[in-house]
Amino acid sequence: MADLQQWRMLCDRYQVSRAYMEDSNARVSVFAPVNDVFLYNPDLRAMDQKETLSHIIDTQVVEISEGKRWEKQTLIRSTINSGYVYITQFENNPGNFSYFVNAGRLCNHEANQWGIISGEQYLYKICTPMGHRPYMGTALSFIRDDDNTIFVDRQYDNRDITELRDVLNRVPDIALVIFGSSAWNGFHTFFLPSNKAFAKVIDRNRIDREVLLAHVTGMNRVLFTWPWLYDGGVHFYPSVRFSSNIIEDNFKVKLTMRNITDHRTGRWDLYVVSEVYERYSHFRRGAVWAKILVPNIPVQNGVAHVIDNVLGIVSMTIDQMLMDNYRCTTLMRYINTIGQLVRNYFSATGGLVTFFAPWNEAFERIPEAIERRLLRDRIWLEQVLKLHIVPAKELTTDEITNETIVSTIDNMRHLYFIRGEWPKNNINYTYADLLQGSNPSDRLKIAEESMNKWGLIAKADEVLKSFNEDKKTFGRVDLEFAKETEDLNTYVKDLKVNLMDLFESKNVPPRVKDHTETILSK
């Protein structure tokens, strides 16, 4: 099979894997990555023998080829080198299913080859990487393990989660019953904060039992990164509640994964988000985002992901979040240019605020001449940034509708919202208009929202323009930029500014009017 050439070469390298592939009487199931997986992930070509054997399961997985809904969404199977593999079924629409083995997506149904049977063997193709080699113990064992020899030849270790080990020692019941449970009693998805995540939390007393449970999904939900992204729009899963020896789903704190894509490079970062829909215990309403540092570590009772933030609790201000986000370096440079003025709007509004923060990609779409003028004209820059601040409101995308209208910080402008058609890249897109019915180019697209001490911050991929009085006045300002760049004809054509209207306006300076007469005479 031409599309499995790389997998065949990998198996030929090791004696045990080659023996299993050649023995047609061995009752095994092989999940083989296609050539494209090795092409987009070149490091997989260096897999050692144990990582290669983790793609071979010691039983026949016939359920995949049956094409019907399973009683349980996830099957647990063992690899031939005694690691656990989780096979998950998602129903896209009635009678149409997607299957994942760990993080690997089965692509047989797309090629019309469900199960390739050779003797007693089953072969399934996967078109995404399966993830890391399984860890032999539970999540608690992974956190507490101090034997470094276990992590030799593995692409992960537990040296960066020692703080979590100390926190779990203070709550032994949660550590043993949830993090140390057997998979046969129920498996979970564990999000493990790193040491740097705990360093961001000023008040360590806030990290209690409920915060720890907010990092674990409900029972029998083992969720790798690729299944989260392909889950047909059903992305929210409850966290777990544990009291009086009863383990149940906690729908007040839900977990999801979202990916933020850099449209220039096509690369994307993966985040886990804890959503609180109403004030619950000491959790504030809204979302807390944490970047996934080490994804897809299969353990005996589920899967573990190492993250860079503590979920559920809010401990950072808008300033700290922007400084911490490498996508907001341009915005921070603009805020520092103005000084303390915009920061005062964040913190001294008499209530919580919503700040639509344009990231670097948004500022790159501004013409260079306008960007130079923004950095020179602090008053205009302040007006532009004030358009992105909504006082006394926490606007989450789940509550924004087409009828939502809010005032900006100076009460001079209103923002109108338009819901996106369908989530792209697993994100609810919401468009904010400065003027109702304006062109799509005058809208910003809200892609990320997270809570902080001063309110809610949402990332946006456009910068709202500051209209002084009307579009004529804005056109006059841009006309001056065009004269500076000696490209007036092209610039006016791009902006669709009516030169005659500008010429008749009382606000046009004499030197601009003279230049306009020259163009009109042509």
Written as one string, the DSSP assignment of 240-295 is: EEEETTEEEEEEEEEEEEEEEE-TTT--EEEEEEEEESS-BTTBPSEEEEEEEEEE
Rounded Cα gap, residues 449 and 354, in angstroms: 9
Rounded Cα gap, residues 302 and 296, in angstroms: 10
Mean of pLDDT values over 488-501 = 48
Please give the CATH number for the structural domain made up of 139-307: 2.30.180.10
Mean of pLDDT values over 7-26 = 88
**274 band by pLDDT with thresholds 50, 70 and 90:** confident
Rounded Cα gap, residues 44 and 13, in angstroms: 14
Q: What is the pLDDT of residue 304?
A: 93
Q: What is the pLDDT of residue 474?
A: 43
pTM of the predicted model over 0.85? no
> Which tens digits make up the pLDDT trace of 74-124?
888 888 887 889 898 887 777 778 888 888 888 755 555 556 777 788 888
Annotate 30-43 with b (16+ C-beta within 10 A) or e (fewer). Answer: bbbbbeebbeeeee
E strands present in 341-468? 353-358, 389-390, 405-407, 414-419, 430-433, 443-452, 455-460
Rounded Cα gap, residues 428 and 449, in angstroms: 10
Q: What is the pLDDT of residue 364?
A: 83
In the block, tokens 């992960």 appear at 156
Q: Which of 423, 361, 52 is nearest to 231 (CA)?
A: 423
- Count the alpha carbons within 13 Å of 324 in the hemisphere toward its beta carbon: 16
**454 band by pLDDT with thresholds 50, 70 and 90:** low
- 104 phi/psi in degrees, rounded to 5: -85, 130
Instruction: Centre a 10 Å sphere on the Cβ of residue 219 and count the other Cβ atoms it contains.
Output: 17
> Which tens digits make up the pLDDT trace of 353-388?
888 888 888 888 888 888 888 788 888 888 888 888
Task: Output 362-370 pairs: Cβ under 8 A, ≥24 positions apart.
Answer: 362/444, 362/460, 362/461, 362/462, 362/463, 363/330, 363/331, 363/334, 363/463, 364/330, 365/462, 365/463, 366/463, 367/481, 367/491, 369/481, 369/482, 369/484, 369/485, 369/491, 370/478, 370/481
Mean of pLDDT values over 9-28 = 88
Structure tokens at 358: 């344009």
Task: Give ∠ CA 274-277-283 in degrees, rounded to 5.
Answer: 65
In the block, tokens 């020179």 appear at 376
Rounded Cα gap, residues 104 and 79, in angstroms: 15
> Which tens digits make up the pLDDT trace of 401-430?
777 788 887 777 778 777 665 444 444 455
In the block, tokens 């109702």 appear at 436
> Which tens digits make up the pLDDT trace of 31-89?
989 888 898 888 888 888 888 988 999 888 888 877 788 888 888 888 888 788 989 88
Which CATH number, 3.30.70.20, 3.40.462.20, 1.20.1050.10, 2.30.180.10, labels domain 2-126?
2.30.180.10
Q: What is the pLDDT of residue 449?
A: 63
Mean of pLDDT values over 489-496 = 47
Q: What is the pLDDT of residue 333?
A: 85
Domain boundaries, the chain: 2-126, 139-307, 318-460, 471-521
Stated as kind and residue range, the H or E segment containing 84 is: strand 84-93
Residue 175 has pLDDT above 90, yes or no: no
What's domain 318-460's superfamily in CATH? FAS1 domain (2.30.180.10)
Structure tokens at 334: 């603009």
In the chain, what percentage of residues exceed pLDDT 90? 4
DSSP, residue by residue, 420-453: -SS-BTTB--EEEESSTT--GGGEEEEEEEEEET
318-460 matches 2-126 in CATH topology: yes
